């Protein structure tokens, strides 16, 4: 696996808890961290054993960095991607890729213009378990796909109960979790929904302006329906994905998660059996490794491209608009 020299853009929790460990397990170098807060950058660099810290322009000016991993708050994704691309750095950007379709398109265009790879760090689509589910569906194991149900209602950990609950920087469960659902459903169904209805609400023990629970129903051009339930407020429910077809059902439990866990059961006329999923590689390693392979020309694309990240975000935008307006929202 080709190693990269990384600059972190954003001294974030996800970089510290998942991505830096994944990069290092794969033998990559984490060279520098850029943060808007100099004291925090120093603390973060020290506790994560990163040799260099500074501003974004300091980090982008270095010639010992091949790629940046952007995990800042969501409103910074576009400007930071544009600056990184202009500096000739490949970009792996966190989800939601952008806060508007226009921003997402500008990010894709900036990276194309600069000739750098843009990937989106959706961790689920590349996982062994979701690849196995897509393969079953593509092989016709359940016949014609009629419906998908996504169970992604979880409890937001206390350490993450900050900007997600309300800042204008892309807070709210719809931007945070529904785009993860879409990152899984879009490649499974091979399309975006044509239209969406949704309701969102406030349920948590916090006094926060952003919605913390949302249910949506999406319709596809071929007549398939998708139902999603995303929440920051549910403590003890398993996550899951049900793929319902004309001839069978795939029932996957504990698979909408950050870890390579979960089970897949196939039910059809022959009965019920668990599907073996041998690939249990760490989901963030898969994302980093696939991105590096694309940078080195050993793969023709990262695991999730910039455009696919934008398409996942587009579903979140439609769901949020539907919930805010009470209207059915078309995705054009």
Binding interface with ligand NDP (CB under 6 A): 10-14, 35-37, 40, 71-74, 94-95, 121, 123, 160, 162-163, 176, 258
Listed residue (280, 287, 329) closest to 309, CA to CA = 287
- Minimal distance in Å, beta carbon 97 to ligand NDP? 9
Q: Strand order of the sheet with strand 213-219?
A: 271-274, 263-268, 248-253, 240-245, 145-153, 225-231, 213-219, 195-201, 329-330
Nearer to ligand NDP, 266 or 288 (CB): 288
Nearer to ligand NDP, 178 or 217 (CB): 178
- Minimal distance in Å, beta carbon 186 to ligand NDP? 16
Nearer to ligand NDP, 121 or 178 (CB): 121
Q: For residue 170, what are its two tokens?
A: 């892309």
What φ, ψ does residue 297 adopt, rounded to 5°?
Answer: 80, 15
- Minimal distance in Å, beta carbon 136 to ligand NDP? 24
Nearer to ligand NDP, 10 or 248 (CB): 10
- Minimal distance in Å, beta carbon 192 to ligand NDP? 20
The three-state secondary structure class of 300 is coil
Listed residue (120, 67, 181, 126) closest to 305, CA to CA = 120
- Minimal distance in Å, beta carbon 325 to ligand NDP? 24
- Minimal distance in Å, beta carbon 95 to ligand NDP? 5
Contacts of 85 (CB under 8 A, 6+ apart): 91, 110, 111, 113, 114, 116, 118
Listed residue (331, 283, 300) closest to 25, CA to CA = 283
- Minimal distance in Å, beta carbon 332 to ligand NDP? 25
What φ, ψ does residue 268 adopt, rounded to 5°?
Answer: -155, -165
The three-state secondary structure class of 191 is coil
Nearer to ligand NDP, 248 or 290 (CB): 290
The alpha carbon of residue 176 and the mean position of all alpha carbons in its chain are separated, in whole angstroms, by 9
Nearer to ligand NDP, 143 or 162 (CB): 162
Q: How far apart are CA 47 and CA 37, in angstroms?
A: 15
Nearer to ligand NDP, 82 or 217 (CB): 82
């Amino acid at each position: 696996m080709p190693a990269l020299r990384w600059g972190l853009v954003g001294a974030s929790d996800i970089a510290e808890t998942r991505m830096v460990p994944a990069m290092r397990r794969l033998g990559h170098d984490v060279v520098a961290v850029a943060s808007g807060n100099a004291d925090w950058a120093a603390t973060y660099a020290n506790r994560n054993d990163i040799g260099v810290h500074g501003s974004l322009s300091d980090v982008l000016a270095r010639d010992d960095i091949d790629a940046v991993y952007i995990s800042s708050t969501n409103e910074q994704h576009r400007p930071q991607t544009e600056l990184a691309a202009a500096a000739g750095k490949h970009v792996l950007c966190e989800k939601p890729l952008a806060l508007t379709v226009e921003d997402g398109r500008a990010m894709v265009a900036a990276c194309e213009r600069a000739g750098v790879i843009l990937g989106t760090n959706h961790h689920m689509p590349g996982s062994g378990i979701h690849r196995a589910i897509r393969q079953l569906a593509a092989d016709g194991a359940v016949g014609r796909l009629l419906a998908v149900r996504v169970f992604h209602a979880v409890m937001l950990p206390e350490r993450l109960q900050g900007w997600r609950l309300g800042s204008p920087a892309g807070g709210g469960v719809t931007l945070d979790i529904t785009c993860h659902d879409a990152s899984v459903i879009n490649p499974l169904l091979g399309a975006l929904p044509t239209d969406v209805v949704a309701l969102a609400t406030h349920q948590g023990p916090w006094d926060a302006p952003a919605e913390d629970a949302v249910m949506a129903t999406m319709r596809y051009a071929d007549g398939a329906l998708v139902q999603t339930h995303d929440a920051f407020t549910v403590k003890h429910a398993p996550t899951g994905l049900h793929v319902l077809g004309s001839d069978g059902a795939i029932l996957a439990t504990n698979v909408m998660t950050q870890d390579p866990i979960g089970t897949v059961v196939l039910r059809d006329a022959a009965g019920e059996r668990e599907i073996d999923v041998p690939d249990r590689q760490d989901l963030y390693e898969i994302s980093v490794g696939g991105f590096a392979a694309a940078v080195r020309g050993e793969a023709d694309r990262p695991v999730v491209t910039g455009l696919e990240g934008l398409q996942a975000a587009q579903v979140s935008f439609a769901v949020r608009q539907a919930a805010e307006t009470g209207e059915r929202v078309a995705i054009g």
